[in-house]
Amino acid sequence: MHSDPAEIKKSVRSYITVFVMLMVFTVITVAASRFHFAVPMAITVALIIATLKGSMVAGVFMHLLHEKRAIYGALLLTLVFFIVLLFIPLLTILDRVRY
């Protein structure tokens, strides 16, 4: 139940943990900006940090950690559409117009 004090305490603890982790990754981002990495390395570091921060926000604040069935369904649907879209050009290549 959502009004259970233990459940509320657990939720607050996870929010605080994610907040602290976001602050840590913000410090890491600022520290990484002080290094003069080559462009590919800088992009890689930035994407890794952004992916970690975005995953924490999406998982906890958007409650996606509790919606596994819906997420897997959406991923499966995305995969099906991706495969269909991959095969559409093959169908046009195989379709030959004869004069």
Q: Give the domain range for residue 22.
A: 5-94
Domain assignment present for residue 74? The answer is yes
DSSP symbols for the chain: -TT-HHHHHHHHHHHHHHHHHHHHHHHHHHHHHHS---HHHHHHHHHHHHHHHHHHIIIIIT-GGG-HHHHHHHHHHHHHHHHHHHHHHHHHHH-----
Domain assignment present for residue 53? The answer is yes
The overall pTM is greater than 0.85? no
What angle, 0 to 180 degrees and rounded to 10, lies between the N-to-C axes of helices 39-56 and 5-34? Answer: 170
Q: Is residue 1 over pLDDT 60? A: no
Domain assignment present for residue 81? The answer is yes
Domain assignment present for residue 99? The answer is no
Domain assignment present for residue 18? The answer is yes
Q: pLDDT tens, 31-63?
A: 998 988 999 999 999 999 999 999 999 888 888
Indicate the pLDDT class of residue 97, thresholds 50, 70 and 90: low
Count of the separate structural domains present in the chain: 1
Q: pLDDT tens, 56-89?
A: 998 888 888 888 888 889 989 999 999 999 888 8
Domain assignment present for residue 32? The answer is yes
Domain assignment present for residue 37? The answer is yes
